Structure 1
Amino acid sequence: MQDRCVLVATDKFKGSLDAPTANAAIARGLRSVLPQADVRTRGVADGGDGTLAVLLENGFEAVPVDVTGPTDEPRRSVVGHRGDEAFVELAEICGLARLPGGTLAGMRATTRGLGLAVRAALDLGVRRVHVAIGGSASTDGGLGLLTALGATATDADGHPVTPDASGLLRVAHLDLTGLDPRLAEVEVIAVTDVRNPLTGPDGAAHVYGPQKGLDASLIPEVDAGMVRWGKLLEAASPTFSPDTPGTGAAGGVGAGLLGGLGGRLTPGAPYVLDTIGFDADLAAADLVVTGEGSWDEQSLQGKAPAEVLRRAHAAGVPAAIVAGRVTGREGLPELGVRSVTALVDLVDDPAVAMRDAERLLEDAGARLGGWLTRA
């Protein structure tokens, strides 16, 4: 393996490191044991938090924008720009990680800042705007997004409603004629792997509301609000259906993007891997290393490392997994996984594994390099 090519392509280690930093640490460890090897790094993501960081490492420029956070506080953020495409990450703009003090705000959180970011993206003169909608803090159905872009949402008396879940309970009329006219010339694409519909037991309020701070007693009421909201979007955009898979993503933002802006959905992990040119590096690789903070039974369901494994397996390239913890190994041998390393197995305390993740990932890379020399 001294003169072979190793491709390191992990997702973020949530709570510890972003994907580029995690990959760099593993690569350092590999090079310490295999100095002649061609070790390449490609951060990967699936449309949730951390996706923008990966794209900024792969040709996108960070453009500063003035937006608002999840509880409508002014803040400075960035969007990605490359050629005729802009990339907006909801999690970076107004997601859970941006809640002041980390305090959930189930009824007050809004996607208004996301709309401001999309408007800033339009100022760049792009033809496509990709919007990653994972990691949201709100359950507003995209109400905040649309009003920030010029839509008007009012109650039964004609008064504007607040751009949050509270407003969603009162909205009776939706007028899209005031939307930024530049949207008609731009393709809007929601990046997500979530397939939930807008309403019902598998919808935005029931499935994701508790994660965003909605009290259990309010969930049926918010779901009923989503039903009314879905009908308003359907009336405004006859091709829209609230039953479309993905409309319930990010507290209903999927519905706002599809029904309000005429957008479409695209799976997150394949989009990111295609955008960063992953397959070109894979073609040269003799081994692929992937992973994330926690590898469990859900990791093979639409996550970025799973897409890495599938592509590697299809190309006949063996793979290794490095993760913070590993609680599920089913299906890995069938995908060509030859080695699995968990950081929690390298130390006695899981808290230490999170705190010292960068050092431990470098150690894991060195161990993997040693394994390669013996394989």
Structure 2
Amino acid sequence: MTEVRSVSNFPDERCVLVATDKFKGTLDAATANAAIARGLRAAAPGIEVRTRRVADGGDGTLAVLLENGFEAVDVEVAGPTLVPRRSVIGRRGDEAFVELAEICGLVQLPEGRLDGLHASSWGLGLAIRAALDLGARRIHVAIGGSASTDGGLGLLAALGAVATDRDGQLVTPDASGLLVVDNLDRSGLDHRLGGVAIVAVTDVRNPLTGSQGAAHVYGPQKGLDASTIVLVDAALERWARLLRPGFSPDVPGTGAAGGVGAGILGGLGGRLTPGAPYVLDTIGFDADLAAAQLVVTGEGSWDEQSLQGKAPAEVLRRAQAAGVPAAIVAGRVASRAGLEELGVRSITALVELAGSAEIAMRDAEPLLERAGAELGQWLGTR
């Protein structure tokens, strides 16, 4: 454990709030939180430990909300390769919550095989239709973790829009269709959308196009090669003009989920909101924070991107605003920039505890428990 500076003046009765995001590819947030909490309780039995898993609009967000007042509803959708499948959305009163990653994200690709040109956001449109069938008046859509770079073409097509090429032929609802689309007719969109607020919950702020856009930044993760990325980026530029006259591809967040952010903002007239603040507000995080004398947060990899809209960074900002010191436990820590200014007093990297990344991933749960125990011992000396 690397101590940044000491924590002092704890009250006699201490409460620690453990609020991590998932350790991607290794553990979900609930398991990570529980392991840290076990270590804390074992090393410092007098400390009350509360756990809250957090998310930022990527995969795992729906699971967090289902623990906090949303009801799971089974729906018929389609995966990223258009194969029909059953999935789940959340419902609370007249509000619905849809997670793209759960519907047609990377984790839903058959055998994990990337298909950059043919993966589609079509299934997301089917999930939104299902929410409309339930009578939803507000639909929040978490759009992190997508498998496609279709600009939301599949999403809009599933909701009734008609996209055609120069010859008036329907295009496929994927990136290959995006390359040849010449016209978008939105007149057939499901009429119920007119009375519903649709909000894209984003975990990134990338624009639709350019060097920081959907194709260039995230295309390689989805199976697009260098030459195809250039073509898709140009197609997304044209797509922006089809979505709505005057629509700008430079709006932050429109590049989220391979351009689904643009599809919701420009094609459906929705809006975008940062994922981490939305989730923390929805689960009542600030009330838990008010009772804590220390908050522990983290994720699989803490790097220079972690402060750019990720859930643990939002935890740190809120802790700082509330005057609550913080500790970070992460799989690896590649950057410490800005952490001391955010009130971080302790940093633990599992890779350093384990001696290698391979062992850290293999033994993540016991290592998190050990990290919690070391943190509990450290607290006992304050």
Change (3 A) 1:157 1:83: same
Matches within 5 A, 1:286-305: 286-305=293-312
Counterpart position of 1:339? 346
Aligned ranges 1:140-219 → 2 under 5 Å:
140-219=150-229
The question of whether the paired residues in 2 share the 8 Å contact of 1:110 and 1:144 is answered with yes
Q: How much has 1:5 moved relative to structure 2? A: 1.1
Where do 5+ consecutive residues of structure 2 fail to align? 1-9
Instruction: Please give the per-residue CA displacement for 1:144-203, whole angstroms capped at 9, x wherever unaligned.
Output: 001111111111222111000111112112111111111111100011142222223332
Point out which structure has higher relative CO (alpha carbons under 8 A, 6+ apart): 2
TM (norm. structure 1) is 0.95
Q: Is the 8 A contact 1:85 1:128 kept in 2?
A: yes
SS of residue matched to 1:195: coil
Contact 1:18-1:53 at 8 Å conserved across structures: no
Counterpart residue number, 1:268: 275
The residue identity in structure 2 corresponding to 1:354 is M
Structure 1 contact 89–132 (Cα < 8 Å) conserved: yes
State the match for 1:364 in structure 2: 371
Alignment-mate amino acid for residue 346 of structure 2: S
1:9-20 paired onto structure 2 within 5 Å: 9-20=19-30
- CA-to-partner distance for each residue in 1:79-134, whole Å, 9 max, x for gaps? 11122211111111111111111111111010001111111111221211111111
1:309 to 292, 308, 316: 316
Cα distance, 1:355 vs structure 2: 2.0
8 Å CA contact 2:58–2:203 kept in 1: the answer is no
Aligned residue type for 1:276: I
What aligned pairs does 1:45-60 form with structure 2 within 5 A after superposition?
Answer: 45-60=55-70
Residue 52 of structure 1 aligns with an amino acid whose one-letter code is L
Instruction: Decide whether aligned partners of structure 1 residues 197 and 296 sit closer, same or farther in structure 2, where only a CA change above 3 A counts.
Output: closer
Distance in 1 (alpha carbons) for counterparts of 2:167 and 2:238: 16
Secondary structure of the structure 1 residue equivalent to 2:369: helix
Tell whether 2:142 aligns with 1:132: yes
Q: Alpha carbons of 1:200 and 1:327: their partners in 2 closer, same or farther (altered >3 Å)? A: closer
Q: Residue type matched to 1:158 in 2? A: G
Comparing 9-18 and 345-354, the one that deviates more: 345-354
Which stretch of the first structure deviates more once superposed, 222-231 or 31-40? Answer: 31-40
Q: Say if 1:344 and 1:350, in contact at 8 Å, map to a contact too.
A: yes
Alignment of 1:103 onto 2:110: no
Q: Is the 8 A contact 1:7 1:285 kept in 2?
A: yes
Quickly say closer, same or farther: Cα 1:199–1:345, change in 2 above 3 A: closer
Q: What's the CA shift for 1:277?
A: 0.4
| TM-score between both structures, scaled by the size of structure 2 | 0.94
Counterpart-to-counterpart distance in 2, 1:137 and 1:315: 38
**TM superposition outliers: structure 1 runs of 4+ over 4 Å:** none
Q: Matched residues in 2 for 1:113 and 1:232: separation?
A: 21
In structure 2, how many angstroms separate the alpha carbons of the residues matched to 1:100 and 1:298? 29
Task: List gaps (5 residues or longer) in structure 1.
Answer: none
Equivalent pair of 1:140/1:253 in contact (CA under 8 Å): yes
| Secondary structure of 2:354's aligned partner | coil
2:95 to 85, 104, 113: 85
C-alpha distance in 1 between matches for 2:244 and 2:235: 14
CA–CA separation in structure 1 for the residues paired with 2:113 and 2:319: 40
Number of matched pairs: 372
CA distance in 2, matches of 1:118, 1:95: 15
Shift of 1:296: 1.6
Q: CA deviation at 1:34?
A: 2.8
Task: Kindly state the Cα deviation for residue 9 of structure 1 after the two structures are TM-superposed.
Answer: 0.5
Identify the residue that residue 65 of structure 1 maps to in structure 2.
75
- SS of the aligned residue for 2:75 comes to strand
Query: Which whole-Å CA distance do the structure 2 matches of 1:351 and 1:59 have between them?
Result: 37
Q: Distance in 2 between matches of 1:226 and 1:349?
A: 41
The offset of 1:290, in angstroms, is: 0.4
* 1:284-316 per-position Cα deviation (integer Å, ceiling 9, x unaligned): 111100000111222122111111111111111
**Does residue 1:352 correspond to 2:354, yes or no?**
no
CA distance in 1, matches of 2:376, 2:206: 41
> What is the letter of the counterpart of residue 112 of structure 1?
W
Contact 1:115 1:146 in 2 (8 A): yes
Structure 2 counterpart of 1:27: 37
Aligned mates of 1:343, 1:137 — CA distance in 2: 29
Residues 219 and 347 from structure 1, CA distance in 2 versus in 1: closer, same or farther, beyond 3 angstroms? Answer: closer
Is the Cα–Cα contact under 8 Å of residues 204 and 308 in structure 2 kept in the other structure? no
Q: Which amino acid aligns with 1:275?
A: T
Tell me the equivalent position of 1:116: 126
Residue number among 233, 236, 260 corresponding to 1:223 in the alignment: 233
Give, in whole Å, the separation in 2 of the partners of 1:29 and 1:58. 25
Q: Which moved more, 1:306-315 or 1:325-334?
A: 325-334
Residue identity in the other structure for 1:360: L
Contact 1:203 1:248 (8 Å CA) reproduced? yes
Alignment RMSD (CA, Å): 1.5
